[in-house]
């Protein structure tokens, strides 16, 4: 079967840096100290199994061990809150901060805005690690998942404080139309809302490349993990264009229906490693 790769796909710079820092730690520390990642390092099961094979264990921030002496802990790409970092240091682990620099920028921006007395709206998925971390930097922040939630949160705030200073930060993977809709809902009550453009261009680049792919391919394979938010968004973008599409976590999970199409398009989320993309591409060509 013929396969066309998206012009841009797979690891973004932030995830590549995070994984490289973990691999460097494994090379430098293996056998000498215990190795941990704070939460799953990235949203990709294949990579997590690789890290496990190198000796990494995953820490749960709700349930940290009493001591982490003689260990090294790599912070995940989506970052953590300041209190979790303090808890790690208190337990004696050496911390390697592999937070994506763009996420770090949002964390620091949230902290600074909060210190200046702003109520910070954060648009995105409440339970996503990135947002859970950012909101810890702005204790008075309001996380809103969509336009309706933004409207109600702004309305409630307006009823309590009509002159509140407000600002908006978005999850790096939120789509531009969703972000605009959320901002518009808040400006109905707070026209002076300060909006920060926090959408990561890596996500946009993959979405645009996928749009191009949809014009050439009959069906699409999105290599990646369903737990990855930007991978799910690629699937949704293909569905919006009426293309049959599947998220495929590894070559053994290719859907049998794919064989009935002539040309397959191949895209991949920002947390999908090159080796996995190559393996899946190879498997499609054999169909």
Residue 177 C-beta: closest distance to ligand SF4, Å = 18
Nearer to ligand SF4, 6 or 258 (CB): 6
Residue of the chain from 6, 8, 9, 12 that contacts ligand SF4 (CB under 6 A): 12
Closer to ligand SF4 by CB, 65 or 226: give it: 226
Q: Does 14 bind ligand SF4 (CB under 6 A)?
A: yes
- CA 34 to chain centroid, in Å, comes to 26
Instruction: Show the binding pattern over residues 160-199: x = contacts ligand SF4 (CB under 6 A), - = does not.
Output: ------------x---------------------------
Tell me if 284 sits within 8 A of 258, measured CB to CB.
Answer: yes
Q: Which residue is nearest to ligand SF4 (CB)?
A: 14
CA angle 183, 118, 179 (to 5 degrees): 15
Task: Provide, rounded to whole angstroms, the least separation between the CB of residue 254 and ligand SF4.
Answer: 25
203 binds ligand SF4 (CB under 6 A): yes
Touching ligand SF4, residues 62-121 (CB under 6 A): 77, 100, 102-103
Torsion angles phi and psi, residue 8, rounded to 5: -130, 130
Please indicate whether residue 130 is annotated as part of the active site. Answer: yes
Say which of 50, 130, 145, 178 is annotated catalytic: 130
Contact positions vs ligand SF4 (CB under 6 A)? 12-15, 77, 100, 102-103, 172, 200, 202-203, 270
Active site residues: 130
């Amino acid at each position: 079967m013929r396969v066309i790769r998206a012009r841009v796909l797979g690891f973004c710079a932030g995830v590549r840096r995070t994984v490289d820092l973990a691999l460097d730690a494994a090379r430098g520390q293996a056998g000498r100290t215990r190795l941990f990642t704070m939460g799953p390092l990235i949203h990709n099961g294949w990579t997590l199994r690789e890290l496990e094979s190198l000796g990494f264990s995953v820490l749960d921030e709700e349930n940290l061990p009493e001591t982490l002496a003689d260990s090294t802990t790599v912070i995940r790409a989506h970052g953590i809150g300041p209190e979790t970092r303090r808890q790690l240091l208190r337990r004696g682990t050496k911390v390697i901060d592999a937070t994506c620099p763009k996420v770090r920028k949002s964390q620091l921006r949230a902290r600074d805005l909060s210190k200046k007395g702003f109520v910070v709206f954060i648009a995105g998925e409440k339970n996503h690690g990135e947002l859970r971390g950012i909101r810890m930097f702005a204790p008075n922040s309001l996380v809103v998942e969509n336009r309706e939630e933004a409207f109600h949160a702004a309305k409630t705030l307006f009823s309590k404080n009509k002159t509140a200073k407000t600002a908006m930060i978005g999850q790096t993977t939120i789509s531009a139309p969703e972000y605009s809709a959320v901002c518009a809902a808040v400006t109905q009550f707070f026209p002076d809302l300060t909006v920060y453009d926090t959408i990561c261009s890596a996500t946009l680049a993959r979405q645009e490349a996928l749009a191009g792919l949809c014009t050439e391919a009959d069906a699409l394979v999105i290599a990646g993990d369903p737990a990855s938010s930007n991978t799910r968004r690629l699937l949704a973008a293909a569905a919006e264009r009426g293309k049959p599409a599947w998220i495929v976590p590894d070559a053994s999970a290719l859907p049998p229906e794919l064989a009935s199409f002539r040309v397959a398009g191949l895209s991949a989320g920002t947390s999908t490693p090159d080796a996995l993309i190559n393996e899946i591409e190879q498997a499609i060509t054999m169909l």
